[in-house]
Structure formats: C-alpha cells, structure tokens
C-alpha cells in the first residue's frame, strides 16, 4: 500500500479568525468545502496538498489531522491496524452539496475530468497512530482525484489547474453561505 499526504486539517473554534490568518499567510481567499454536512474551508498549500480548517467535532478534537489518499480504504485500514493504528470513529462518506453539484460537474469537465460525478467526494476512516496522533485514510472518488494529483491525474498539469480551480471553489463555496 502506498499513501500520499493530501491535506492537514486544523480544528478551530473560530473559523473566521483562522480563515483570516491563513488568507494572510497564503495570499489566497478561503474556499468553502462543497458539503452541506460540515462547514469547512481550504487553501492550496502545495502540489495537491491542502490546509483544511473545520470546527471541532467534539471537545477532544483539538489536534491537527493528516489526511492520506489511498487506493483501497478497506485494505489501508487493515494495513494501518496491523502496523499499530487504531480506528477512532466509524468510516464516513463525505457528500458533495446538491446546491453546487452541477457547477462542480461543469468545472470538472472544463478541467478534463471524464469520470461520472457521484454524490460523494470520498470515504474517510479516522484513525490514530501508536503515539495517539490523528490520521485519516481517504479513498477519494475518481472524479475528485484531480485536485490531489493522484490516480490518472498525477501528470504535472496539477498546479495550474489547482490555482484556477481554487477560484472556482471560492465562488461555489459562497453559494453555501458562511
């Protein structure tokens, strides 16, 4: 199994203040995640790697979490568990907002994505490593893999597409409100 870092999530009780800090740091406007189920913002940090900001899911949710893309979530869970990892919560699926789905599909087509759009961005299993650090294993849907330069989209076009798409994500995210 080979996994690739795609994001680091920072839980924050004050999304507005955190967004302002990362906007100043990166020079990018915060892009709202295209999900109705959780309010989250992201910034392109590098070649297929993002900084995510979310409200904590619980009082204990205070530490950063590293997200790793995997090809097969079930296999990755087995490998990580055998190496000393432990599941924290049950697996979750991350839905794409129905409010922005058609515009998202159009943006993907413009970027050359040919896979059919599903209702989900991916499947996630939150785990902790032997030291208690939170990690997440993510099986990203093929239509969303372009944002992380994984799968068939690891061909070098990524950086220019990400910067263009970031502005699209800002515009789509504004449809979800703040």
Give the tens place of pLDDT for each residue, 88-132.
Answer: 989 999 888 888 888 889 988 988 899 999 999 999 999 999 999
Contacts of the segment 125-129: beta carbons below 8 A, 24+ positions apart: 125/73, 125/76, 125/77, 125/87, 125/91, 125/92, 126/65, 126/87, 126/88, 126/89, 126/92, 127/77, 127/80, 127/81, 127/85, 127/86, 127/87, 127/88, 128/85, 128/86, 128/88, 129/84, 129/85
Give the tens place of pLDDT for each residue, 46-70.
Answer: 778 999 999 887 777 788 999 999 9
The answer to whether the pTM exceeds 0.85 is no
Structural domains of the chain sorted by starting position, each given as residue range(s) with its CATH number in brackets: 4-174 (3.10.180.10)
């Amino acid at each position: 199994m080979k996994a690739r870092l795609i994001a680091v999530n920072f839980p924050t009780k004050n999304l507005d203040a955190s967004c302002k800090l990362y906007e100043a740091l990166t020079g990018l406007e915060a892009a709202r995640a295209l999900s109705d189920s959780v309010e989250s913002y992201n910034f392109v940090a590098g070649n297929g790697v993002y900084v995510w900001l979310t409200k904590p899911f619980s009082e204990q949710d205070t530490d950063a979490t590293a997200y790793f893309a995997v090809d097969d979530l079930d296999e990755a869970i087995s490998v990580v568990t055998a190496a000393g990892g432990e599941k924290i919560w049950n697996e979750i699926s991350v839905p794409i907002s129905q409010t922005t789905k058609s515009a998202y599909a159009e943006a993907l087509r413009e970027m050359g994505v040919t896979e059919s759009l599903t209702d989900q961005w991916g499947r996630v299993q939150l785990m902790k490593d032997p030291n208690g650090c939170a990690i997440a294993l993510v099986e990203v849907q093929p239509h969303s893999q372009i944002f992380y330069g994984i799968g068939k989209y690891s061909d070098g076009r990524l950086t220019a597409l990400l910067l263009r798409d970031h502005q699209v994500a800002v515009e789509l995210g504004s449809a979800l409100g703040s």
